[in-house]
Structure 1
Amino acid sequence: MPRKRIEPTIIIKRRYGEEEEEHNSAWKLAYADFVTAMMTFFLIMWLMNITTVEQRKGIADYFNPVALSQSNSGADGMLAGRAVDKTGALSTPNAPGEHSVPVAAPPVVASLGESDREPAGRKDPMPNPPGGKSQPDRDARAELEALLDRQTAALSEQQGLEKAERDLRTALETMPELGALAGSVVIEQTSVGLRVQLTDQAKVSMYNVGSAQMNEQGRRLMRLVAGAVASSPNRLSITGHTDALGYADGAKYGNWELSSDRANAARRELIAAGVPARRIVRVEGRADLDHLDAANPLAPQNRRISITLLKAAAGE
């Protein structure tokens, strides 16, 4: 019986690790080229930023061997560290005979002066004084400090006006004897300051009809206002108003005179109640021009005295 032939078994072993390693190392070369290119780019940008126009021209001449350099090198000698032939051209040390081979001198950036070390186009025409800041910096700082001072003063002043308003409202609520007069006081914060308007009512009046003589009810209201504003340093403005009812003989004495006289009478009462006279900076009469109740010109509320605790800017 013939013997069966056994085919040889061939085993091929592949080293996958080596091929994988070779494949994985390929990116390193590409990355190294990229890093080198980026470093070169930033180096060029840095050189362009720290060098002057003349120095950049010298660098360009260095990489152009067919052009003569027009700039000096970093040496301070008469020949600027380079040989000159009879015709004045720059030549190499090994040039034969009278034949000159033009070359460019390498730029020397290390010899930059103090003025050349600054980036091009960024020189300060006015250097800072020794040991201090420049004038623009000092001016800006002074302006900022002045602004902060004004804002702080305005905030403090507003707080003072709000305190005066609270004192007035508290006095009206806690003093029983002023209960009938509470409706005669109108308090409001305005753009120029705290305005307190003392108005007449249907059965309550501060002055006799057609007269500038203040009665007891008017004096009580003036003392109330004086007590609230006495501690404040703000200046005061006093304005008198009347209703639209005119005089029979308005040519001699009318609402203009009456409103002015009543405002002046209010000034005297405030001074008598303890308000310094120097704080009152304006006393005027507006006749019947500014009605509190515009729909009813004859309303008693239109007969009033306006006392304004002025803000600093408004009181100037």
Structure 2
Amino acid sequence: MMALFMVLWITASVSVEERKEIVAQLNGASIFDGAAFNPFEQHGGKSDALIGDTLELSKAEETAKAGEMLQSGGKPQEHLDSVLSRSDAELAKLYQQIQHIIKSYNAQDVLSLETLPQGLRILVQDDQSRMMFPRGSAVLTPYFQKLLTELGPVFNRIDNKIMISGHTDAAQYSGNAAYNNWNLSGDRALAARRALERGGLESERVLQVNAMASRMPLDREDAMSARNRRIEILVLTDAAAETLFQFYGREGENVVKPIAERLR
């Protein structure tokens, strides 16, 4: 180990010509006496130039590290596994914080949590004694207004984006009605977003607001079940959010530009 240390120290602190002279002296030859000795040539005629390769590799590694630091504003980039572990830890902490709110508001029957590959799903829904919205309305009742307002600032404690979806039961409007379950579920999702933001949710945390109508019932046996009337808040993993960005484009160019070009 000491010999290796000395070799590395010599290669880092002296010039190429000085290294040649040192190695030549160690082998009883000098580069100044006309000898044909090559200190970088191994015995047997192979010329792998191990010391030179080591230096070049070190320079390449230093260059790569410097590039990483420039891209990250002067700080070494975080390893992917570390990012994923940190994200999982943040979601687990968020889970605990929301569970505390559920207990504080005695909301076990109207607010539940579920972990998915895409993130943490929070379901806010009616039960038999408390309605989130009056029938056919997108105005939150006071209890749910306060509950969502309390939830709002919790999401600011993590970096993840959220998606808000509105769902209705299968009750139908008249066939000629200009307003239907699509409108209603969208308006309810927007009402939930406003309540969350009123409580302190930063608006940039919201990545998408969806209208789902009655297309995805929780209770498939009873299309009119209170469980189907709900708001879903999905706290997205970084991978899930990036998938949406890739599909739509960060400024919509993946969708809007092709359509505009066809219209031209």
Partner residue in 2 for 1:21: none
Match of 1:298 in 2: 224
Q: How does 1:168-207 map to 2 (within 5 A)?
A: 168-173=98-103, 175=104, 178-179=105-106, 181-207=107-133
Q: Distance in 2 between matches of 1:250 and 1:197?
A: 32
Q: Which residue of 2 aligns with 1:95?
A: none
Structure whose alpha-carbon radius of gyration is higher: 1
- Percent identity, aligned pairs only, is 26
Do structure 1's residue 155 and structure 2's residue 85 form an aligned pair?
A: yes
Q: Distance in 1 between matches of 2:126 and 2:158?
A: 26
| Contact residue 168 and residue 224 of structure 1 kept, 8 A | no
Verify: 1:133 aligned to 2:84, yes or no: no
Pair 1:117 & 2:34 matched: no
Question: Is the CA contact (8 Å cut-off) linking 1:206 and 1:215 kept in structure 2?
Answer: yes
The equivalent residue for 1:91 is none
Verify the 8 A CA contact 1:198 1:221 in the aligned structure 2.
no
Alpha-carbon distance between aligned partners in 2 of 1:278 and 1:309, rounded to the nearest angstrom: 13
Please say if residues 156 and 205 of structure 2, whose CA atoms lie closer than 8 Å, have aligned partners that are also in contact.
Answer: no
Total equivalences in the alignment: 201
Q: By how many angstroms is 1:253 displaced?
A: 1.6
Q: 1:293: Cα distance to partner?
A: 1.4
Gapped regions of structure 2 (runs ≥ 5): 1-34, 69-75, 243-264
Q: Which residue of 1 aligns with 2:207?
A: 281
Q: Which residue of 2 aligns with 1:247?
A: 173
Kindly tell me: are residues 118 and 160 of structure 1, through their superposed partners in 2, closer, same or farther at Cα, counting changes over 3 Å? Answer: farther
SS at match of 1:155: helix
Instruction: Name 1:225's counterpart in structure 2.
Output: 151
Residue 249 (structure 1) shift: 3.3
Q: Which residue identity lines up with residue 286 of structure 1 in the other structure?
A: M
Report SS of the residue matched to 2:132: coil
> Map of 1:44-59 to 2, 5 A cutoff?
none
- For the pair 1:165 / 2:95, whether they are aligned, the reply is yes
2:257 paired residue number: none
Which letter maps to 1:154? Answer: L
1:111 to 1:170, Cα distance in 2 relative to 1, 3 A: same
Q: Secondary structure at the match of 1:183?
A: coil
SS in 2 for 1:223: helix
Deviation at 1:136, TM superposition (A): 7.6
RMSD, matched Cα: 3.2
Amino acid at match of 1:150: L
Residue identity in the other structure for 1:133? S
Structure 1 residue 231, shift from structure 2 partner: 2.2
- Structure scoring higher RCO (CA < 8 A, sep ≥ 6) equals 2
2: distance between equivalents of 1:165 and 1:217?
21
Q: Counterparts of 1:67-78 in structure 2 under 5 Å?
A: none
Could you tell me how far apart the structure 2 residues matched to 1:249 and 1:135 are?
A: 69
Tell me which stretches of 4 or more aligned residues in structure 1 moved more than 4 Å. 110-116, 118-122, 129-132, 136-140
Instruction: State how far apart, in whole Å, the 1-side matches of 2:188 and 2:138 are.
Output: 5
Q: Closer, same or farther in 2 for the Cα pair 1:219/1:131, shift >3 Å? A: same
The correspondence for 1:313, drawn from 218, 226, 239, is: 239
Distance 2:219 2:154 in 1: 26
Find the aligned partners of 1:250 and 1:120 in 2 and give their Cα distance.
92
Give the partner amino acid of 1:191. Answer: P
Distance 1:149 1:257, change over 3 A: same
Once the two structures are superposed, residues 210-253 of structure 1 have per-residue CA deviations (whole angstroms, 9 ceiling, x without a partner) of 11111212202202322432322322110111111111136512
What code does the residue aligned with 1:169 have? Q
**CA–CA distance in structure 2, aligned partners of residues 118 and 264 of structure 1:** 77
Distance 1:120 1:263 in 2: 76
Q: Is the 8 A contact 1:240 1:287 kept in 2?
A: yes
Distance 1:160 1:116, change over 3 A: closer
Q: Give TM-score scaled by structure 2 length.
A: 0.65
Task: State TM-score, norm by structure 1.
Answer: 0.55
Q: Shift of the alpha carbon at 1:299?
A: 0.8
